[in-house]
Structure 1
Amino acid sequence: MSLVDIILNPAAGGGRAGKFRDSIDTHLRSLDFEPRWHLTESPGHGIELAREVVESGSRLLATAGGDGTLFEVINGCLQSEGPLPDLALIPVGRGNDFAKSLGLPREWADACDRLMLGTKRRVDMGQCNDIFFANTLGIGLDADIADIASRRRWLPGDTAYVAALAQSLLRKRRPRVSVRHDGGNLEQEVTLMVIANGCYEGGRFNLAPHANIEDGQLDLIITPSLSRRQIMALAPLVTEGRVEEIEGYQRFLTRRASIHLDAPCRVHADGEVIYRQARRLEIGVLPGALTFFS
């Protein structure tokens, strides 16, 4: 049997991830894998566990959880010393956004089967200051939604994100950003700014439909300052991936970006709020940083 280390967040998916442990164990054993389980016990614990697993010499590391669990695992991996293992993703979280960009099946058992039937891909990761992200980093409305949704983890599926969108409309401030990127400079007030490696976030929002996790670049997405009514009107465009129809929508491909905010702002990475008082961000891409089964 082949050994696979699995970092499981029992709280992912509103607590449903932990209920799948025995079923995942049985299924992997039927595929001739020997699971070695590592359970997270608190926020940030996944970083520590991933670092320990990598430095123990693991050759295959799976994440069982959602995007927040994956965020911790990739940070632990990229902060560690030693050869990096191949990675697998078992999507039992809430949004499972990065799994979509990897092209993984929605069902966890089918995703497990990719360890036998899938292919390995070297995919890019993003970096913000000293923090790594797999999927997206967001400022403005995007970060407000992530902040509010993080307090509604008990809601099923992507319901928390939809509820958070409605509540975030009560926050009136629109940050003013100054951005230097590979294609030039810009300064403007924004409703949201997203730096995307993957296409999706919040379960159903397709803000960067052309993003490619293997192109060595990040998509810089900007929408101008919009009213509450305009934001509600653009929701269907975002869920359907028709973001180019949003008035004032801008997209730039870049390998690096330097962002200055006119006042302290929240920032999220992969749905996790990483800053509440950010003023300056240095963004970069790590081409082909990690190898995933897909």
Structure 2
Amino acid sequence: MSTIDKINTNSWFIIANPASGNKNFSKIWKKIEQLLKNKNLDYSFAFTQFSKHEIDLVQNAIKKGYRNIISVGGDGTLNNVVNGVMLQRYVKTSNITIGVLPLGTGNDWIKTYKQTNSIEKALEIISKKTTILQDIGVITTDKNTIYYNNVAGIGYDGYIVNKLKYLKKFGALSYLLAGIYGLIFYKKSAYKILINNKELKEKCLMVVCGICKYSGGGMQFTKDVNTTDGLLDITIAKNLNFLDLIINLPKLYSGAIVNHKKVNTYKTLKITVTPINAKPFIQADGELITSGKLQISIIPKAINFVIN
């Protein structure tokens, strides 16, 4: 009997990040275990022990025969789980299903699917196992390849993520504080952008490449997103000044910022962004990545996600 035969196809492998959010993890984990027992879900689990440990844990779980993964943590934990799925070579990525128990500070990915931060409700959703085969983004740099499932941002968006490292103790408020800090101190960069066979040279506040709607703790920088259409939703916020941003701060959260005269939106299969005389911050799902020239493309319908 092979390893895969020994594992029930309905079994879940749970990967939990004890450092996620600003909460008492041991207490929450006991609650999760009790809820799992109440739902009679068959599972095994592992805790992350170092940065990006999720990638190794996912690959080992898939090798053993697991096809259902639960990410317990924030957007960064989920991003690492997704990278683990995309980097493994044992099965098609579309054969893998990911559920999410949100414990992070922002929990932006779940917002697109109108899921709450409630662990009880999240487990109820997982037990029903209604899924969507979602697109996954691919960021290619000179050094490596990174996958993402929500939103990638270059410039102001990445600057906010960098500042969050020092503000996480303030919980959900940390995103607003980082955003305000960025409004005051972030200096815009110039880029050469290749999109839909057109080359643009712009001094930009940021370039956002979305699959889903939300980033930065609930801000909406993308327009008319469809997580399964095989296209990236691009937003280029050009030379918005400090006053523009202060006046339009509510629009960053309502999504109306995409209608500003200094903001352009596109749908595309891929985009290449080359910074000019700068090394801007780049983030993918709230994780900082290497700066420099990058190409972003998309893999249609790559992974099954459990949704509401």
TM category, shorter = over 0.9
Q: Residue 88 of structure 2 is aligned with which of 80, 83, 95?
A: 80
Moved more, 160-169 or 215-224: 160-169
Cα distance in 1 for residues equivalent to 2:155 and 2:26: 32
Out of 21, 28, 31, the residue aligned to residue 29 of structure 2 is: 21
1:142 corresponding residue in structure 2 = 157
Q: Which moved more, 1:50-59 or 1:3-12?
A: 50-59
Pick aligned residue for 2:304 from 277, 280, 291: 291
What residue is the counterpart of 2:167 in the other structure? 152
- Asked whether 1:101 is paired with 2:112, we answer yes
| Cα distance per residue 1:47-90 (max 9 Å; x no partner) | 22122212221121000111010011101111112124211111
Partner-residue secondary structure (3-state), 1:81: coil
Contact 1:10–1:19 (8 Å) recurs in 2? no
Kindly state the Cα deviation for residue 17 of structure 1 after the two structures are TM-superposed.
Answer: 4.6
For 1:227 and 1:77, how far apart are their aligned partners in 2?
Answer: 40
CA distance 1:290–1:172, change in 2 (3 Å): closer
Task: Note if contact 2:221-2:258 (Cα within 8 Å) is conserved in structure 1.
Answer: no
CA distance in structure 1 between the aligned counterparts of 2:228 and 2:268, rounded to whole angstroms: 13
Measured in 1, the distance between the counterparts of 2:15 and 2:74 equals 11
Q: Deviations over 1:161-198 (max 9, x none)?
A: 11111222343421111111226321110011111111
Contact 2:136 2:211 in 1 (8 A): yes
- 2: CA distance between counterparts of 1:102 and 1:240? 16
Seq. identity, %: 24
Once the two structures are superposed, the pairs formed by residues 207-246 of structure 1 within 5 Å of their partners are 207-246=221-260
More strand by share: 1
Q: Is the 8 A contact 1:25 1:35 kept in 2?
A: no
Q: Secondary structure at the match of 1:146?
A: helix
Alignment check: 8 A CA contact 1:16 1:92 kept: no
Alignment counterpart, residue 55 of structure 1, candidates 57, 63, 66: 63
171, 174, 192: which is aligned to 1:178? 192
Match of 2:101 in 1: 90
Unaligned ranges ≥5, structure 2:
1-7
SS at match of 1:13: coil
SS at match of 1:42: coil
Aligned to 1:281: 294
SS at match of 2:11: strand
Q: Which amino acid aligns with 1:218?
A: L
Please tell me the root mean square deviation across aligned C-alpha atoms, in Å: 1.7
Query: Is the 1:180–1:186 contact (alpha carbons within 8 Å) kept by the matching residues of 2?
Result: yes
- Distance in 2 (CA, whole Å) between partners of 1:210 and 1:16 is 37
Equivalent position amino acid for 1:25 in 2: E
- The structure-2 alpha-carbon separation of the partners of 1:192 and 1:17, relative to structure 1 and needing over 3 Å to count, comes to farther
Which deviates the most, 27-36 or 212-221? 27-36
Amino acid at match of 1:127: V
Q: Tell me, which stretches of 5 or more residues in structure 1 are unaligned? A: none
Aligned partners of 1:17 and 1:65 also within 8 Å: no
| Map of 1:265 onto structure 2 | 280
Count the aligned residue pairs.
291
Distance 1:253 1:280, change over 3 A: same
TM-score by length of 2: 0.89
Between the aligned partners of 1:201 and 1:180, the Cα distance in structure 2 is: 23
8 Å CA contact retained: 1:17, 1:93? no
Superposed CA offset, 1:229-266 (max 9, x none): 22222210111121233231110001111111102221
Structure 2 CA distance, aligned partners of 1:108 and 1:132?
26
